[in-house]
Amino acid sequence: MPEAENHAPNDFIRDIIDEDLKTNKHDGRVATRFPPEPNGYIHIGHAKSVCLNFGLARQYGGTCNLRLDDTDPAGESMEYVESIIRDVHWLGFDWGKGLYYASGYFERLYQFAVELIKKSDAYVCSLTPEEIREYRGSFTEPGRESPYRNRSVEENLDLFARMRAGEFADGSQVLRAKIDMAAPNVVMRDPVIYRIKRETHYRTGDEWVIYPMYDFAHCLSDALERITHSICTLEFENNRPLYDWIVERLIPAERPKQIEFARLNVSYTVLSKRRLIELVQNNHVHGWDDPRMPTVSGMRRRGYTPEAVRNFCAAIGVAKNDNLVDAALLEHCVRDDLNERAPRAMCVLRPLKVVIDNYPESQMEDFDCANHPQKPHMGTRKIPFSKVLYIERDDFMEDPPKKYNRLGPGREVRLRNAYVVKYQSMEKDEKTGEIRQINCTYDPATRNAPPADGRKVQGVIHWISAAHAVPAEVRLYERLFTVEDPGSMENCLEYLNPNSLTVLTTCYVEQSLKNPAPGSQYQFERLGYFCADEKDTKDGRPVFNRVVSLRDSWTKVAARG
C-alpha cells in the first residue's frame, strides 16, 4: 500500500462522482471494478485503468473489484489470470473479497437471456454471419429486419435451449436483442448477445457451447456486482446506449453509470494485446516479462517501481481525447523515484586495466562511502582500493578533445571517493592496437582532499579494485521501436529497434554487490539506475538490467513545452 497517497487532482470522472454523491445517487456508494480479459499480460495502459479504478475506491472510501472478463474462451488462460493478480498487487492495490470472474455468471447470464426472450426483447436469428452484417446496414444506410425477427417466444425459447444443448453448428444461430434496425447508432441494430462457439473454456471446460457477447455480459456483471461507476475506454462510447438498454430491462434497480475516458498510448511502444502477443510468440522479445516490454511484469523486471508507475498515471491524468504520451515522462517518473531510494554503487561496463605505479603492491585500503549522498540514514559501505584497478574504457582517450573531462596523456582525474591519479603511460596490443593497460601515479595527499597546490583536475571517474571486482553481466536497453507511434502502423514490426538490447558479459561491480537481492535497484555512479535481474541473478554472478539512464530528457521537453 502506498504510504501517503496523493489523490489525483479532480478530473471529469471525479466531478461526476462528486455530483452523484451530492445527490445521493447510489446511496452514497462508490463501487468500481477493473475488468481485464485474461488473454494477455496487463501493460502500462491497463495500469492507468487500475490506478484510476482502485484510486477512486480508495479516495472515496469505496470498493473496487478485480473482475476477470472471461467470456471469450479463445486465448484466455489461467497463466494470464495469475499474472494479472500478481501485477495488480504489485501496483499496490487490493480487492479484498472482490475477485470475480464473468464466467462465474454464465448460468445467470443464460437465465437473463431467457428472460429477455420471454419479454419479446430477444430472438434467435438463423442468418449467416455475413448476412447479419449485410442486413445491419451502415452509418449511412438503415438496417433491414431479419426474417427471423418475429419468431414466437415459444419458438425462441426452444431454439435457445437447443443452442445451449449443442444441437446447432457454430455460427449457424445467434441470439439477438430486439431493439431497432433503423437506429442511427449501428450498435443498437439488434446486436448479437449470444453465439455458438465450441471452444474449451479455461474455467468452465466444455460445459458451454454458447457464450455471451461482451456487451451482454459486461453490463450485467457490473449490475450484479452493484458497480456504481463503470469506467471504460472511449471505444465503448457507442455501446453505452446498449449497456443501459440491457440493464434497464434486466436489473433496473442497479444502473451502473458507464463513463468513458481516453486510452493511454506511450511513444515508441505498442499497447494492443494483439501486437504484444505477436512480439512474444514470434520471439521478437524474450517473453511477456522482457524488460523492453510495456507490460507491468516487464517494467517490474526492468526495475521500475510501483510508486513510479503510479506517479506517472497520476501525472498524465484522465481526459476525453486520445493522446500519445512521451515515453520520456515515464522514464522521468522512474528516475525521480529511484533517485530517492536507490543506493549508489560502482560498476565498470567496459573495463580497462589501470596500474598505479607508486602504490605499494601489497597495500589495500578501505574507503568508507556513503550509500546515498543526501541520505545518511542509508548508511555507508567499504570500498577497497589497491594497486590494480579497472576504469571505464570510455574514460580514457589517447587523443582527447579539449573538453574531455576524463583521463588522457598528460591529464589528471579524481577516482571517485579515492585519490587523484595522473597518467604516465599505456600498453597496446601489438596486433590489434587496442589499449590493454594504463599506468598512472597517485597523489597520496588527495584522499578526500583537493590537491594541496590548488591545481585543477580534469574530472571524476569511477573505478573498481581488480582484486575485489565481481564479474557481472549487464543488459542495456533502448526503445523497442524506432518510430514514435508504432501502434498506428500496420507494419510496425519493420520498425523494431535492432539495438533495443545490448548484453555486456565482461562487466565488474564492486564487491558489495556480489549477492544483490533479486529485483533490488542501485544507481551505478555515472551510468544510470540498474536492477538485479529477478530471474537470472545467481549466487555470486549478478545480472543487472539498466532501468534508465541518468540523463533526463523529460525536464527539457517539459521546459520547452
Q: What is the binding site for ligand ATP (CB under 6 A)?
A: 35-37, 45-46, 48-49, 232-233, 263-264, 271-273
Residue with cell 455475413: 130
The catalytically annotated residue of 151, 255, 273, 301 is: 273
CA distances from 172 to 120, 159, 190, 191, 210 (A): 21, 12, 17, 16, 12
In terms of C-beta density within 10 A (0-12 exposed, 13-18 middle, 19 or more buried), how is residue 323 classed? Answer: exposed
CB of 85 to ligand ATP, least distance (A): 14
Q: What DSSP string describes 413-444?
A: EEETTS-EEEEEEEEE-TTT--EEEEEEEEEG
Which residue, 272 or 497, is less far from ligand ATP as judged by CB?
A: 272
Which residue, 45 or 516, is less far from ligand ATP as judged by CB?
A: 45
CB of 65 to ligand ATP, least distance (A): 12
Cα gap 61→58, rounded to integer Å: 5
**Size (the chain), residues:** 561
Question: CA geometry: angle at 278 spanning 276 and 282, to 5°?
Answer: 130
Which residue, 228 or 417, is less far from ligand ATP as judged by CB?
A: 228
The residue number with the shortest CB distance to ligand ATP is 45
User: What are the E-state strand segments in 448-542?
Assistant: 460-461, 463-465, 470-477, 501-509, 521-524, 528-532
Contact 268, 480 (CB under 8 A): yes
Type and span of the H or E element at 217: helix 214-224
The catalytically annotated residue of 29, 37, 341, 406 is: 37
Contact 199, 74 (CB under 8 A): yes
CB of 49 to ligand ATP, least distance (A): 4
Which residue, 48 or 195, is less far from ligand ATP as judged by CB?
A: 48
Strands 210-212 and 229-233 come out as: unpaired
Which residue, 32 or 446, is less far from ligand ATP as judged by CB?
A: 32
The reply to whether 37 belongs to the active site is: yes
CA distances from 282 to 85, 285, 482 (A): 25, 8, 19
Which residue, 233 or 482, is less far from ligand ATP as judged by CB?
A: 233
The catalytically annotated residue of 29, 263, 344, 514 is: 263
The reply to whether 273 belongs to the active site is: yes
CB of 279 to ligand ATP, least distance (A): 13
CB of 338 to ligand ATP, least distance (A): 24
The reply to whether 535 belongs to the active site is: no
CB of 511 to ligand ATP, least distance (A): 44
The cell for 324 is 500519445
| Residues involved in catalysis | 37, 263, 273
